[in-house]
Structure 1
Amino acid sequence: MKLTRQSETSRYAAYRENARWTFGNVVFVTLHIIGSNNNLGRTAQMDAEYEERDAANIAWMREAFDLATRNGSRAVMIIAQADPYFQTTWTPNWQERYALWSLAMKPPASRRKTGYDSFLAALEKETLAFGKPVVYVHGDTHIFRIDKPLVGAKSQRIIENFTRVATFGHPDTHWIRATIDPNDPNVFRFRQEIVKENRVAH
């Protein structure tokens, strides 16, 4: 299995975290997207770092989708650390529903720029154009969930071919099994694997 890194191109030599490989006719791509608002909004130096890395991430993601389209790949899986705050792109109605679902949350009083806005816009565009299953896997929040949080900017409805998988994290140390079935229209199947030794004695 060949691993390709974005850092192999001199322009993006600093971004070794961004990698890509193909397995089972699925393109896998890693992106250096981090939590804490993607490092935006702290200092001028951090903002500059964010701008360069964000541009590199988007370029690398687009290249992965281009490759998947050219090769007729069945799906694309994107792997990153950060939860990119999908809910910040929702309408007030969607945000209210999300807040009610999570109970402890309140919808934001106003829309603010985040360090994930440009990535989410590019992700929506690429996902819609690709038209086949796209999965975004992340950690960050340490809360296991599988859902469809990407909403079309125009339709304000879920984008059906997109799925988010958030992994377990401390203190709940378990894992998720991903299975690829090229004959399944959804391509991916996910199953939680609870580690017996890590179960809590409630």
Structure 2
Amino acid sequence: MFDDKYLEKANTLVDFQQQPSMHENARWRLADVEFITLHIAGTHNGRREVLKSDKQLAYQQADTRDANNLNWLAQANPTAKGYVIAFQADIYTHRTAQPACSKTQPEQCDGFKVYRDALAEFANTVKKPVLVIHGDTGPYCQQPLSENLTRLNVPGDFMFSDIAKVSLVQQDTDVTWQINSLKSGKPLKRICR
């Protein structure tokens, strides 16, 4: 839950909302860009390394998160000129050859595949710039994933101290994300693997 001071400030953002069924999910607009947060936990959305918890309860909670997150993404404002979608887990580095997790297959599955697929489909459908921002792994890097979808693994681990400055820029008829280091002012060139 967000504290009262955060909510006071957040209520000054344009169209700030929290998802009633999962308060970690929020959305707001700034300069006609819609910002969306999704509650995606590490360890394949809480499906791996379930050590001392009840596994069935952990899988049920992951299924609930999946349903809430996908529903929240589907409610994006179609009039936005771009989208920034942020969450904690690195859904790209931890790919597996396993199928997507589901209620019928809660184990031996890729807990992030449903999100990679949904974000790719979202970017393809809206045909506007979509920036996915996450943490969870070490490298500060960006990666174009498709024509409209860009990934940014933000700086901030103990080995790298910087701030990513992100802008939505128009170049001729293209609108794209420009990601620069705040320290150097130079574009971020490191490509995520």
1:5 aligns with 2:29: no
2:163 — aligned with what?
175
Q: Give distance in 2, aligned partners of 1:87 and 1:160.
A: 22
Structure 1: segments with no counterpart, 5+ residues: 89-107, 150-158, 196-202
Cα deviation code 1:18-37 (max 9, x no counterpart): 00011111111011112111
8 A Cα contact 2:91 2:112, kept in partner: yes
Q: Do structure 1's residue 25 and structure 2's residue 42 form an aligned pair?
A: no
Is the Cα contact below 8 Å between 1:143 and 1:168 reproduced in 2? yes
Letter of the 2:68 partner, please give it. Answer: A
Tell me, in whole angstroms, the C-alpha distance in 2 between the residues paired with 1:120 and 1:30. 15
Q: Distance in 2 between matches of 1:194 and 1:182?
A: 23
Identify, as 1 or 2, the structure richer in helix: 1
Is residue 78–residue 136 contact of structure 1 (8 Å, CA) maintained in 2? yes
Counterpart amino acid of residue 117 in structure 1: K
Is residue 127 from structure 1 mapped to residue 134 from structure 2 by the alignment? no
Letter in 2 for 1:60: W
Is 1:186 the counterpart of 2:175 in the alignment? Answer: yes
Name the counterpart of 1:104.
none
Cα distance in 2 for partners of 1:49, 1:62 equals 20
Q: CA deviation at 1:78?
A: 0.3
Whether 1:162 aligns to 2:149 is yes
Identity within the alignment, %: 26
Kindly indicate whether residue 48 of structure 2 is the aligned counterpart of residue 48 of structure 1: no
In 2, are the aligned partners of 1:178 and 1:188 still within 8 Å (CA)? yes
Shift of 1:82: 0.9
Q: Which has the higher contact order (CA 8 A, sep 6+)?
A: 1
Structure with greater strand percent: 2
Deviations 1:77-108 (A, max 9, x none): 101111112673xxxxxxxxxxxxxxxxxxx6
Offset of 1:182 from its aligned partner?
A: 5.6
Match of 1:95 in 2: none
CA contact (8 A) 1:24 1:182 kept: no
Look up the equivalent residue of 1:174 and give its one-letter code: D
Is residue 129 of structure 2 the alignment partner of residue 116 of structure 1?
Answer: no
Q: Residues 163 and 119 (structure 1 numbering): CA distance in 2 closer, same or farther, change over 3 Å? A: same
Cα pair distance change 1:87/1:130, threshold 3 Å: farther
Structure 2 residue identity aligned to 1:5: Q
Q: Look up the SS of the partner of 1:18 in the other structure.
A: strand
For residues 194 and 23 of structure 1, what CA distance do their matches in structure 2 show? 24
* Over 4 Å off, 4+ runs: none
Q: What do you get for the CA RMSD once the two structures are aligned?
A: 2.1
Counterpart Cα distance in 2 of 1:82 and 1:194? 25
- Alignment: residue pair count: 155
Paired residue type of 2:75: E
Corresponding residue of 1:146: 142
Q: Does the CA-based 8 Å contact 1:144-1:168 persist in structure 2?
A: yes
Structure 1 Cα separation of the partners of residues 166 and 157 of structure 2 = 20
Query: What is the TM-score of this pair, normalised by structure 1?
Result: 0.69
